Structure formats: C-alpha cells, structure tokens
Amino acid sequence: MAAAVGGAVFVLGGLDAAGVTISDVVRIIPAVGAVARAGTLAEPTHGAAAVTVGGRIVVFGGAAATVHTAVQSYDPATGVTTVAGSLPGPRADLAAAAADGRVVLLGGFDGSGPLSSVLIGAGTTGFRTLARLPQAVRYPAVAVSGGEVYLFGGLLSGGEYTGTFTPLIQQVDPATGTARIAGRLPYPVAHAKAVVLDGQILILGGSTPRGPTSDILRFDPARRVVTSVGRLPAPSTDGAVAAVGNAGYLIGGLSATGPLDQIVVIKLRPIGPASRAG
C-alpha cells in the first residue's frame, strides 16, 4: 500500500521477497531521491488499502495469517501507528478512495470469496454499506474523477495471479449510492494500479491471462473510451502507487521472475495537441 502526504510517498506493509507479511513503513521523497524507513504498522498486513485522511494515512483491513478487520492510523510526523477502529467484517484485497470528504471501500475478499459490498465512512470508524458492485472483485485498480469512483478489472476466482480476471470498469457514485458498469478494458486484468495525473486516469500494468503486462492505459470517463498511451519499463503487477504533483510513482510489485524493488516514475508529456504517458 502507498499514500502521499505533502511531498513524500509512504509505503506501508506488504509482502517481502520471501512472501512474509511485514509491518515496515518506508518514506520516499521524490524531489531528492531519498528512501528511508519511517516506522512500523501496529499490525503487519498485506492486501490492505491506504488513504490519506487529515494528514494521516489510514490503512484498512488486509491479511497476515488470516483476513482481519483492523483500521490502522499512521502519523507521518511521528512514525507512530495506532489501531484506530475496525471494519464491519474482515476484508483484504480491497480498493479504497477518498471522495467528497469521505472514504469509500470497494470489493475485496473476506476469506471465502470476492465481495461486492461498497462501504462508506468518515475516516476510521462508522462504516456502512453504500452500494453493491455489479461484479464482486478482488484486487481491482481504483481512481476518482469528478467525484465518481472507478474500479478497473479485478480477480473473480481461482489463483491470485492465474485465476479468472475481469475486463469490467465499474463506477460508484458516493452521492447517490449507485453502482454500474461504465465500460470495458481491452483485456481481463487484476492487480493493476491506477493514478490520476492532470485529470487523466491511467491504468498501470497488472496481471493478465498471459502474465504481467507493461501496458499503460488511459480511461476517459466522459467518452467511456480506453486507449493505450504508453508502456512501463518492464511488465509488472501488484505494486503500490501514489501521486505527488504531476508525477505518479509505481513502487515494487512482481515481474514474471519475482519481486521488484524499483520505483517507476510516470509523467504526462505533450505531443502536439494531445498528451500521452511517458
């Protein structure tokens, strides 16, 4: 999981190269290229979701030995994490987004199967069911545009990287509590990441039926059109992503041969009257 506070990106928990769930928090300052440890989570977790709320980073759910319900609050100023609340039920492999001053939690896994429920809350507590996704998914990519929350792809069943994926784009309106299908990706994908740069939604990498992809796709919510706009340096899946200023940072993840320790910078560059990822 990753989230930005000010000019820094924080990477929280996850799995190490041996597949062990960790509690490390790492701070990345892109402006100077600095990477340093910045604390630990109260509970080790992977497959959680993180959102910046009021200057703190809140980590929702995830798993270690089992899927859990903990809501953890990390303070970048002190490096201290506390357990600030609990979700209504166990949830890992979920997506989270901040929209209109509230936190929206979408999809995930409760230990037995993918979830369709969409939860909404003020931050760390008080979550209630907002809507039901048309398609229950694990490991979707998530982005917010115009107050709407969009989910891209996800795992439907089977192995995490070899199972059945979906190409669906799902849209949730937090204001009305409605969810619908908003389009389709050109292929099924899970474990992708999404970032909004200069108002444009970019979908980065992910797992496809043929393995990890290096594709960078752009989704236009107004026209409901998906186009290919660039490529990552190499195929990768299941990293963490955050944006600072006009740049997105895709951190870690997996390649076809194993875990990655790289930080990939994604920016938009003008090409004539249009723009594309570079």
Q: Are 232 and 202 in contact (CB under 8 A)?
A: no
Tens digits of residue pLDDT in 13-28 = 999 999 999 999 999 9
Q: Are 139 and 155 in contact (CB under 8 A)?
A: yes
Q: Give the pLDDT band of residue 273 (cuts 50, 70, 90).
A: low
**Given this model, what pLDDT does residue 274 score?**
47
Which residues touch 151 (CB under 8 Å, ≥6 apart)?
95, 106, 107, 133, 137, 140, 141, 142, 168, 169, 170, 171, 172
d(CA 103, CA 85): 14
Name the percent of the chain lying above pLDDT 90. Answer: 92
Query: Which CATH number does 2-277 carry?
Result: 2.120.10.80
Mean pLDDT of 189-215: 97
> How far, in Å, are 72, 190, 217 from residue 201 at the CA level?
28, 17, 8
Q: 3-class DSSP state for residue 117?
A: strand
pLDDT at 31 over 80: yes
Q: Which amino acid would we find at residue 269?
A: R
pLDDT at 278 over 70: no
pLDDT at 269 over 90: no
> Which is nearest to 4 in space by CA: 42, 72, 53?
53
Mean pLDDT of 150-175: 97
At residue 45's C-alpha, the angle toward residues 190 and 241, to 5°, is 45
Q: Give the pLDDT band of residue 8 (cuts 50, 70, 90).
A: very high
Tens digits of residue pLDDT in 75-119 = 999 999 999 999 999 999 999 999 888 999 999 999 999 999 999
Mean pLDDT of 134-161: 97
